[in-house]
Amino acid sequence: MPNLAFIQIKAKFGIVFINPNDLKPCIIMKRVLIAFTTIALACSSLTSCKKGDNDPFFSLKSRTGRLTGDWVLSTQESTSKDVQVDMVANVVTITITNRSISGSVMKETVEVSQNGVMDTVLSTVNEYGYTLTNTIDKDGTFIMIETLTLTKTGGITIPPSFQVPSVTTTIGNWMWVKKNKEGEIKNKEGVVFSVKSIVSTGLTTPTNHIYTGFNNASLVLIDRLKNKEMITKINRTSDSSAGSSTAYSDITTFTKS
């Protein structure tokens, strides 16, 4: 029985098996060089799939194949700052909101100040039961369902009978963003989600908003995209000539169910 000490090398176009006992050293070296050349060429091709800063080195699935599926939000850290200037009353109101989501719990801190003085009435700490799912389909559509239930506010636990969930269903289309030098975005590094309808039920009267065109679209940058894990980042700001401004940023981790 010969010694089957095979050298196994995986490449893009198959697997190369080399039996050192059956091949002369020069032939072995030749095949090894061919195999490594094949690997180098495969890596050169596959690394084109690496778009986000923390994407895997390569993947056997296409970027669209990894993006599509049923995603569940598992963690998120977000912050927003809203500055409103009332030029008539000469009042500047600043609202800073920080949210942290882990599993099915969202903790929220809201700080409101007017002309630099903290508003202790409007400032609060809340806790919610929280879930968000996003089904991204290959046909270019998505359905996102968010459920939010206030469980604590200002350190006071809300009785279960008063914990009414608010459910928001968002339907729309998605598309990859092409390379943008000015925005420093690589090809397929970002995704635009264009909302067509938002239906909300829960504490208030059910609402149904219909949108046309790209008036309600959001750009999401993908920092890491694996088959079962996706990390996204959002950064957006807006300013007005009157001095009002808004800023929002988050980093979110999704897992595929």
**One-letter amino acid identity for 12?**
K
Does this model's pTM top 0.85? My answer is no
Question: What pLDDT, on the 0 to 100 scale, is given for residue 68?
Answer: 97
Question: What pLDDT, on the 0 to 100 scale, is given for residue 10?
Answer: 42
Question: pLDDT tens digits, residue range 143-159?
Answer: 999 999 999 999 999 99
CATH assignment of 63-76+129-256?
A: 2.40.128
DSSP sequence for 47-59:
GGG--STT--S--
Question: pLDDT tens digits, residue range 6-19?
Answer: 444 444 434 444 45
- Helix locations, the chain, DSSP H: 25-46, 63-67
Angle at 240 between CA 238 and CA 244, to 5 degrees: 85
Look up residue 42 and give its DSSP letter. Answer: H
Question: pLDDT tens digits, residue range 26-74?
Answer: 454 555 445 444 444 444 444 445 677 777 766 788 999 999 999 999 9
Residue labelled with tokens 């506010």: 153
List C-alpha distances in Å: 148 to 100, 106, 180, 245, 247: 14, 9, 36, 27, 23
Domain locations along the chain: 7-49, 63-76+129-256
Look up residue 12 and give its DSSP letter. Answer: T
